[in-house]
Structure 1
Amino acid sequence: MSNLPREISEEILSRVPVKSLRAVRITCKTWNTLSKDVTFITKHVGRAKEEAAKKKEIMVIMMMNFRVYLMHINLHNDAEPCIKREGKFITLDDSDHVDLYRVFHSGGLLLSISIDSTKLVAWNPYSGQSRWIKIESSPDLIEIYKYALGYEKSNNSCHNHNHKILRFVDYLLVSEYKIYDFNSDSWRVLDITPYKKNYSVPNLRNGVSIKGNTYWYGESRPRSDVFLVCFDFTRERFGLSLSLPFEYFSNVSSIVTLSSIREEQLAVMFIRYDTFTMEIWITNMIEPSAVSWNSKVFLAVDLRLATFYCFCFEGASFFIDEEKNFAVVLDNNNVAYIVGVDGTLRKEHFRLSEELCDTHACSYVPSLVQL
């Protein structure tokens, strides 16, 4: 087949699922070169999006057992499990032999941190391109550094956006903010001093990328209020605090978790432990300096009515199926809770191996972005 005309090879290989791209690339030099061509990647990404839309699936990146997986969430076929593993993401170098933890996604790029926190790896799973980035860390602060992946807005197509990495720590008397620019392949120190005086971002909470910017939920100091915090990668600074759609009480134990919808809208899950209720709200509009929310809650559920009680939502990830009016909450016990707007709940196990470890997931939209 390697002797087929390029047009025919391209058409055939563009139908290969992403989990088989590595096999395509190592088959022969011709196919390896073809699989990295922009025309091929464009066709392959287009088919992947069409298939996901046709099957009404949500594509999700999941970090589990120190590896990164592509998962499909499908709530439209009751005969099959709602979560299926499509494949393990690897790069063309040796990154698949390195233990990674935490995963960030923005505009088709993924970013992960080596388990020893000495380097970052950024890659596009569809093109196979990757870049290793060295970092210098204080041994005492490794666990509390925060990261975000985003891009500077441009008037060109999305694959020409200049991606950047924000790395910062703001803990007690230590404050440090640096940004890595993919175009210059270098780190710069940012002068951001007012930030630490007003609020903090909880440790080990990944931000959510929306239109190239990253959003976290922030906590005032002392913790009397919570709100949204945005880092604008074009202006390279934090914006003003943005309001959340629910009433917050500092004396009530609660969980706030963010998610994205196609990297265009922000969703927030709010769980109150005094009433054991869950609410999920979706934005109408969101920008670094302004946000508006749907006037009606997307989902509100009394968790006390569930027939099972082993909830572990601290640090959980969640995703929304707007068409079928369901949310899927993935906890750290390898369990998926499918929550309907009508109050129905069911759970499914999605363990990928017998080894237990923390999981983290984020929505994924493939793209042609180049490194």
Structure 2
Amino acid sequence: MLNLPNHLEEEILSMIPFSSMRAVRLTCKKWNTLFKSRSFTTMHIGKQEAEAERESGESRMVVMTDHNVCLTSVVTVNEHEKPSTKPLGKLTCLDNEHVKISQVFHCDGLLLCVLKDDITRFVVWNPYLGQTRWIEARYFHRMNKYKYAIGYEDRKSCRSYKILRFRDDSDYYVHYPYNKNHLSLYDSYDFESNLWRTHYLRDPLTLAFCDRGVSLKGNTYWCATNGLGEISHTVCFDFASESFGGIKDLPFSVPFDDKERVALSCVRDEKLSVLVQSMQTSVIDIWITDNIEEEKVLWSKFLRVDLGPLNGLRISNGCFFIDEEKKVVMVINKDRKERLDTLKIFGKDGFSELELGEPSDKKCWPVMCSYVPSLVQVKLPEGGTRNRQRD
């Protein structure tokens, strides 16, 4: 093995199933270092995922229902067979089995989990490796709501992962649209330095962010309002510069109120997709970007769905998933009448529905996001678990 070229050694080791990777890492320092390289990670994960999809026709995603996070696959083989869900395991790598999660965000195989009953800390989690890292909040106020995001800065040697947190005033903006929502400061946390930093905006952003942000290529995007109280563009947070910017026009402009639902999602960490649902009609429209990194983003219509008798469907906090190859859209929904969390699947071959179960907490809205396994390490920082702070 010592005489093999590096690229051939990587090729051979990438074929080993993940269940045997621990033994590979413990064999020698060279293989342990190889395990952490981005090229090997991309090759190994890509092969494992391609094999899984080819054999089963499944789409993997993270689903949160009743404050529990689970890894689930939805199998859509062909138009003649009804789709089905296959649980891949409840993500209970946490120390306390009774921990309840209120929000979950995905980036590069890492999950940022915000707790329901503990606002003093949150946890970052790699379910593929079974590693967790608890992070203490810099400060908190029980009356305030916060928005969160996780992303990374690409560096020559590695990716530097970071967390964003800022106060969420969107509910106030909806009820009092003439009172401007000023985002003037926000906090970021750096995994490597184990530091919180506070950032002040010289020119506060006068806008409202809609629901959840989605991570794409290390940055996070939100749908946001213009000065007229309409949802008309996206705003990006760049984790490299730790700043807001990158405003891109949406293919529509709708009022920011309870009559319209707008949501973002990402497609294989390559494209953005956006969904708009009018609560007054039975139509859902979905678009996909071509290349979000260009100055002018072009949106193409992916699917239009007439819900018909399902016009009471209310998409939960912008949770939907797209399988571009199969032309399938999945949306997660809380059916208040039946008291069930359900997964609605729309495609060119029609509509189907899967029950996810009856939650014990009726106020817990289900959440769904795409998931790609990752070999990113999230071990505790050197010198202990306590987070240092810095202005």
Cα deviation, 1:82-120, whole Å, max 9, x if unaligned, reads 3222111133x5154422220011111111112221101
Partners of 1:353 and 1:322 in 2: CA distance: 30
1:223 aligns with 2:229: yes
Task: Name the counterpart of 2:166.
Answer: 168
Shift of 1:81: 4.0
Whose strand fraction is larger, Structure 1's or Structure 2's? 2
Q: Is the 8 A contact 2:281 2:311 kept in 1?
A: no
State the alpha-carbon separation in 2 of the partners of residues 291 and 108 from structure 1. 29
- TM-score, normalised to structure 2's length? 0.76
**Deviation of 1:37 (Å):** 5.9
In 1, Cα distance between equivalents of 2:112 and 2:48 = 21
Task: Pick one of 360, 364, 368 that aligns with 2:367.
Answer: 360
What SS does the corresponding residue of 1:49 show, helix, strand or coil? helix
Find the aligned partners of 1:214 and 1:186 in 2 and give their Cα distance.
20
Cα 1:272–1:352, aligned 2, differ >3 Å: closer, same or farther?
Answer: closer
Other-structure match for 1:90? 92
Secondary structure of the residue aligned to 2:156 is: coil
* Change in CA separation of 1:310 and 1:235 when aligned onto 2, cut-off 3 Å: same
The answer to whether the 8 A contact 1:108-1:367 is kept is yes
Match of 2:352 in 1: 346
Query: Equivalent residue of 1:155, what SS?
Result: coil
Cα distance in structure 1, aligned partners of 2:35 and 2:141 = 43
State which of 107, 122, 125 in structure 1 corresponds to 2:124: 122
Distance 1:251 1:46, change over 3 A: closer
Counterpart selection for 1:132 from 131, 134, 138: 134
Q: How does 1:264-283 map to 2 (within 5 A)?
A: 264-283=270-289
The one-letter code sitting in structure 2 at the alignment partner of 1:365 is V
The Cα of 1:244 is off from its aligned counterpart by 0.6
- Provide the aligned C-alpha RMSD in A: 3.2
Judged with a 3 Å threshold, the aligned counterparts in structure 2 of structure 1 residues 260 and 184 are, in CA distance, closer, same or farther, namely same
TM-score, normalising length from structure 1? 0.80
Question: Quick check: 1:38–1:368 contact (8 Å CA) kept in 2?
Answer: no
Structure 1 residue 251, shift from structure 2 partner: 8.8
TM superposition shift of 1:294: 3.9
Aligned partners of 1:217 and 1:12: how far apart in 2? 40
CA deviations 1:263-282 (Å, max 9, x no partner) are: 11111011123433111100
Aligned-residue offset at 1:316: 4.3
- Structure 1 contact 61–69 (Cα < 8 Å) conserved: yes
User: Counterparts of 2:361 and 2:248 in 1: how far apart (Å)?
Assistant: 39
For 2:15 and 2:153, the matched residues in 1 are separated by 35
Q: 1:200, 1:221 within 8 Å by CA — same for their partners in 2?
A: no
For 2:149, give the aligned amino acid: A
Paired residues in the alignment total 337
Matched, 1:337 2:351: no
Give 2:50's aligned residue.
Answer: 50
Corresponding letter in the other structure for 1:338: I
CA distance in 2, matches of 1:176, 1:239: 14
**8 A contact 1:14–1:47 mirrored in 2:** no
Match of 1:3 in 2: none
**What pairs with 1:253-272 in structure 2 (closer than 5 Å)?**
253-272=259-278
Match of 1:185 among 182, 194, 213: 194
Establish whether residue 110 from structure 1 lines up as the match of residue 116 from structure 2: no
One-letter identity of the residue aligned with 2:209: V
User: Aligned partners of 1:354, 1:249: CA distance in 2, in Å?
Assistant: 34
Query: Displacement, 1:309?
Result: 4.5
Distance 2:75 2:264 in 1: 20
Q: Which of 201, 205, 208 is matched with 1:200 structurally?
A: 208
2:215 corresponding residue in structure 1? 209
1:314 deviates by 4.4
Q: Does the 8 Å contact 1:62/1:362 carry over to 2? A: yes
Q: Residue 124 of structure 1: CA displacement?
A: 1.2
Distance (whole Å) between structure 2 residues aligned to residue 119 and residue 68 of structure 1: 17
Q: Does 1:234 align with 2:240?
A: yes
Return the letter of the residue paired with 2:136.
K
How far does residue 347 in structure 1 lie from its aligned partner after superposition? 1.9
Displacement of 1:355 in angstroms is 5.6
CA drift at 1:242: 1.1
2:64 is the counterpart of 1:60: no
Contact 1:52 1:58 in 2 (8 A): no
Deviation by residue 1:174-220 (Cα, 9 ceiling, x = unmatched): 843100000100100112242433x1213xx2210000000010112
